[in-house]
Amino acid sequence: MSTPLVVGIAGGTASGKTTVAKKILKALSDHAVAFIDQDAYYKEMADLSPEERREVNFDHPDAFDTDLMVRHISDLKAGRAIEKPIYDFVAYARRTETKLIQPADVVIIEGILVLHLAPVRELCGMKIFVDAEDDVRIIRRLIRDIKDRGRDFDRVVEQYFRSVRPMHMGFVEPSKRHADIIVPQGGDNEVAIQMLVDAIRARLGHGPQARS
């Protein structure tokens, strides 16, 4: 197997990163594609109480086990399978089980700080930033965290102003300058997503650029 193409997808919370990644995955169904979500690499916090875990700044670079993430991406690039952690957002903790990820033609890495963290960014052959308006993102986050992650309204709003927004302005938004491609309107931008798919296919040797 040739060295896989690593595609890094970053952007603010609830900007549509996962939607973009899933649409790329679906469009590349004829290829082996591995998906790595940065959220799976939150540091193990078994030594903290549930109350202390809730106070952790999960949007700061220090919240992630970047060394493990880099090691896993490097293993996939080298053709080795990995055991990806599984994070439980309700319990604020890693689960005991892991998920086997096999080597693939394309490795998609998705997360808010993928382009901020230099060791991760440097492993990416294609760097994408998914953009969306702030008001759209906070509404999406409210819906997601309340519906899927067991949060309450006041908690989501408090966390947004205490850590999510400052970390977005300090780390996420500035990382946009590292992007090769910026996708406005998040996962709703079908034209941009199709262009991304075409660009990935070209890099794999199956697109118009490869034939020209």
Crossing angle of helices 190-204 and 17-27, in 10° steps, is: 50
Instruction: Tell me: pLDDT of 208 over 80.
Output: no
Residues 6 or more apart whose Cβ sits within 8 Å of residue 57: 63, 163, 167
For the stretch 91-122, pLDDT in tens is 888 899 999 999 999 999 999 999 999 999 99
Residue 211: pLDDT band with limits 50, 70, 90? very low
Buried b vs exposed e over 20-43: b needs ≥16 C-beta within 10 Å? bbebbeebbeebebbbbbbbbbbe
For the stretch 120-137, pLDDT in tens is 999 999 999 999 888 889
How many helices and strands in the chain, by DSSP H and E? 9, 7
Distances, alpha carbon 205 to alpha carbons 33, 103, 111, 118, in Å: 15, 18, 27, 27
Instruction: Tell me: pLDDT of 210 over 60.
Output: no
Beta pairing class for 82-88 and 93-101: antiparallel
Residue 1: pLDDT band with limits 50, 70, 90? low
For the stretch 158-204, pLDDT in tens is 889 999 999 999 999 999 999 999 999 888 899 999 999 999 999 99
User: Rounded to an integer, what distance in angstroms lies between the CA atom of residue 32 and that of residue 107?
Assistant: 9
Q: Are 182 and 131 in contact (CB under 8 A)?
A: yes
Instruction: Tell me: pLDDT of 206 over 70.
Output: no
User: Rounded to an integer, what distance in angstroms lies between the CA atom of residue 43 and that of residue 194?
Assistant: 34
For the stretch 10-60, pLDDT in tens is 999 999 999 999 999 999 999 999 999 999 999 988 788 878 888 899 999
The residue-averaged pLDDT of 140-144 equals 89
Look at phi and psi of residue 184 and say left if phi exceeds 0, alpha if psi is from -120 to 50, else beta: beta
Instruction: Tell me: pLDDT of 212 over 50.
Output: no
Paired tokens of 10: 């970053």
Q: Among residues 127, 116, 139, which one has the least CA distance to residue 180?
A: 127
Max distance between CA atoms of the chain, in angstroms, equals 59
SS3 194: helix
User: For domain 5-201, is the CATH number 3.30.950.10?
Assistant: no
Paired tokens of 23: 């649409």
The residue-averaged pLDDT of 143-157 equals 87
Q: Would you state the pLDDT for residue 207?
A: 54
> For residue 10, what are the β-bridge partners?
129
Distance between terminal CA atoms of the chain? Answer: 24
Instruction: Tell me: pLDDT of 209 over 50.
Output: no
